[in-house]
Amino acid sequence: MTRLLDRQVSLLEYLTSSGAIFGGDGDAALDQPLQGFDRGLLRLEACFSYEKRMEKITAVFPRTLQLLGTDQSAIMREFIAVCPPIDISRLENGRQLYDFLCARWLNTPPRPAYLRDVAACEFACAQVRITTSSEESEPAGNEHAPRGYIRRLPGVVLLHCAYDIRSIFEAGSGQAAPVKRDTSLVIAIPPEAEQPKVFEVLPLVFDVLAVLDDWTDRSALDLTPELDELICELARHGLVEVRR
């Protein structure tokens, strides 16, 4: 039983290795637990699994991968070498690449410089899709919140960016190079929309949404009439929910 388990582990490690996928292992012999397997068929299966994984990652980061340009191939080889798949979901594979890129960019700044913000925004869009889908398919679960309490909707993500990257996410913008300036973004799926949208908001609006991370007693916020009206406006736009 132990030998069979060891063989299965070795097989999975090989199929997800950069050597099997990209052919970097040359003519080296297979490890002892894999003796008897056809190398050609193993390479075929490894490439097929890699393509399926890349489809999931590309669905999350289409613009990020495009902006990587000629560096994409080398970066993906690095990623595969240090980040074997741990989950079959699109979001988790996307999370692995995002964490890898963020760690890499600590030592090697991204090119172009606004790529860090683009990747963060695309990952936020993926999170919004999953969260909103879960909210629609499951009970709201807010019956524990007292009447009159408010919170930011779970399917809303706040993002501080060093560049105004909205042009990259706006259809028909021609992907003009983003302007470098501090930008407060909200990523959400507005009412009647099917896909996440990227909005710039004033710092005050951003701060209000950040405070409402969990159910909050509206009467305890000591709101001015202006802030109270702002919260009503955010609720009308589907960014804040009020417990009725």
Query: Which CATH number goes with the domain that contains 234?
Result: 3.90.930.50
The pair phi, psi for residue 7, each rounded to 5°, is -70, -40
Instruction: Give the residue ranges of DSSP H helices in the chain.
Output: 2-15, 18-22, 39-60, 62-68, 72-82, 90-105, 115-137, 166-169, 203-211, 225-236
Q: How confident is the model at residue 156 (pLDDT cuts 50, 70, 90)?
A: very high
What pLDDT sits at residue 40? 64
Tally of domains within the chain: 1
In this structure, is residue 182 part of a structural domain?
A: yes
Q: For 135-191, give the DSSP string.
A: HHHS----TTSPTTEEEE-TT-EEEEEEEE-HHHHSTTSTTPPPEEEEEEEEEE--T
What pLDDT sits at residue 115? 97
Which structural domain, as residue segments, surrounds residue 182? 140-244
Average pLDDT rounded to a whole number, residues 188-214: 90
Q: Measure the CA–CA gap between 41 and 7, rounded to whole angstroms.
A: 16
HSE value, Cβ hemisphere, 13 Å, CA-based, for 184: 10
What pLDDT sits at residue 160? 96
**Which pLDDT tens digit goes with each residue over 64-109?**
999 999 999 999 999 988 888 888 899 999 999 999 999 999 999 9
In this structure, is residue 117 part of a structural domain?
A: no
In this structure, is residue 153 part of a structural domain?
A: yes
Handedness of CA 244, 204, 160, 210 (dihedral sign): negative
Q: How confident is the model at residue 1 (pLDDT cuts 50, 70, 90)?
A: very low
Q: Strand 179-188 vs strand 197-200: parallel, antiparallel, or unpaired?
A: antiparallel
- Tell me the pTM: 0.82
In this structure, is residue 146 part of a structural domain?
A: yes
Average pLDDT rounded to a whole number, residues 160-176: 80
In this structure, is residue 211 part of a structural domain?
A: yes
Greater pLDDT, 38 or 208:
208
Please say if the pLDDT value at position 49 is more than 90. no
Please say if the pLDDT value at position 27 is more than 80. no
What pLDDT sits at residue 7? 57
Greater pLDDT, 129 or 221:
129
- Mean pLDDT for the chain? 82
In this structure, is residue 225 part of a structural domain?
A: yes
In this structure, is residue 94 part of a structural domain?
A: no
- Give whichever of 129-138, 170-179, 185-194 has the largest mean pLDDT: 185-194
Report the Cα 121 to chain-centroid distance in Å.
8
In this structure, is residue 243 part of a structural domain?
A: yes
Average pLDDT rounded to a whole number, residues 11-30: 59
239 contacts 201 by C-beta, under 8 angstroms: no
